[in-house]
Amino acid sequence: MTTSGISRRGALRMFGIGALGVAGAGVLGACAPSGASTSSNGGDTKSKDFDFTSWSLNEEAAKPSIEKIIAAWEKSENSKIRAVSYPYNEYLSQLTLKLGGGETTGAVHLDIAWLAAVAQMGKLADLGSAAMKGGYTNVALDSGMYDGKQYGLPWNTGSIGVIANSKLLEKAGIKKHPTTVEEFEDALRELKGLGGGVVPYAAATKVAQLKDIFPWMQTFGCTLLEENKVTIGDDASIDAVTWYKKLHDEKLIAADVDRFDARALFGQGKAAFYDDAIIGKGVTAAQSKDKTLADAMQPMKRPVLRAGDTPQALLWGGVIAVVKGKGQDAATEFALHTTSDRATTTEYFAARALPPSTTAGLADPKVAQDTFTTEWTEKITDTATGSPFWQFARNAQIEEAVAKQVQAVLVGKSKPKEAMKKAAEEVTDLIKR
């Protein structure tokens, strides 16, 4: 029977066709080209109001300090800053999409590892003249440069290294930090013996932070890249991954861990070592119930393969870049103020334990006399190097490609040799594309 000229069969058929249309659009519409351009994102460059995009505004430990900086600027300049944030692990992709679509304007917080990828979009302003006024250290300035231009004003410059929990080490009878890989393994076994669910080394095992494998590969002698030739896949990288797998199988490192899990485990007193940037002290101690944990956190030189080798560490830091277009001038002034004003950077250091990037800021007694910061610089930052893959627009994909292969080894889906061979092929393809 039909009513209103539409049979039930017809209605169902229409429903099916509608479902197909929506499904098709969902599948493919999302992939429609964005029409990215390399021009300005539009708007009045003289506008006093602008956006500030930062992943730190999404983190409880960091949010109040940054909001304070924003509020102070708004008050003094009688302007309005719109704060925008995405979680760190989603930040680059979200920012890229918004930037490409012309939705992001103003000041943008960037990890130094992402600068090349974002700068290549052609949306960032050259901050060369502003950088001259900041009094930044040379190393810091370099971290904000790409292709000879100053795209970012350095906010913090440091490194990613190993942090130890001295209380757990003491409990396990470990008197001094292990210096070689062999000593490190012994220490991990001692710590495992403590029981109680202790994860001796909360190393990254999730793809999001498995880029932490790079310093270990370098520890074993792999250079990662030599004159645009990928060296991942050599014996040293295979040895490093084999060793990592051994730690995994002996449960000296845990499965399913990223930076945030590692901080949580360390904060609960369940991890003795983990990899983090210098920022880790402030974040991890703030989220721990143990109010004495901060005192027990010690920066440690990454163990080396043979005594006398140089400990490996990855440079780490943040810069503030400015998008061409609306509020560009005010955003540049804001970036300069936030990264170089002595009172602002010192107060930010006091709140977050993040050392500034200016010579004056580093010389401030509050910074210079901070033991953790000084030790961190001596033990970790002094030998830290940037990743050779940062120069490529597809750095994030390169890191992910290697991470996925390492994870495949950890979960037993692949052997170290074949995984590293595949990683090398994928990285080579990504560099060429």
Applying CB under 8 A, the residues found at the interface with other proteins are 7-9, 12-13, 16-17, 19-38, 93, 96-97, 100, 117, 120-121, 197, 199, 205-208, 251, 254-257, 261, 264-265, 268, 270, 393-394, 396-397, 400, 404, 407-408, 410-414, 433
- The nearest distance, CB 95 to other proteins, in angstroms, is 10
- The nearest distance, CB 62 to other proteins, in angstroms, is 21
307 burial (CB, 10 Å; 0-12 / 13-18 / 19+) is: exposed
Query: Closer to other proteins at the Cβ: 58 or 397?
Result: 397
- The nearest distance, CB 399 to other proteins, in angstroms, is 11
- The nearest distance, CB 368 to other proteins, in angstroms, is 37
Query: Closer to other proteins at the Cβ: 208 or 351?
Result: 208
Query: Closer to other proteins at the Cβ: 109 or 270?
Result: 270
Query: Closer to other proteins at the Cβ: 23 or 363?
Result: 23
Rounded to whole angstroms, how far apart are CA atoms 306 and 410?
Answer: 25
- 132: closest CA among 323, 362, 336? 336
Query: Closer to other proteins at the Cβ: 299 or 325?
Result: 325
Rounded to whole angstroms, how far apart are CA atoms 157 and 344?
Answer: 16
CB-hemisphere CA count at 13 Å for 426? 19
From its phi and psi, is residue 12 left (phi > 0), alpha (psi between -120 and 50) or beta? alpha
- The nearest distance, CB 86 to other proteins, in angstroms, is 12
Query: Closer to other proteins at the Cβ: 154 or 416?
Result: 416
- The nearest distance, CB 33 to other proteins, in angstroms, is 5
Q: Provide the 10 A C-beta neighbour count for residue 171.
A: 15
Q: Provide the 10 A C-beta neighbour count for residue 15.
A: 10
57 burial (CB, 10 Å; 0-12 / 13-18 / 19+) is: middle
Query: Closer to other proteins at the Cβ: 370 or 429?
Result: 429
Rounded to whole angstroms, how far apart are CA atoms 53 and 63?
Answer: 12
- The nearest distance, CB 118 to other proteins, in angstroms, is 8
Rounded to whole angstroms, how far apart are CA atoms 369 and 376?
Answer: 12
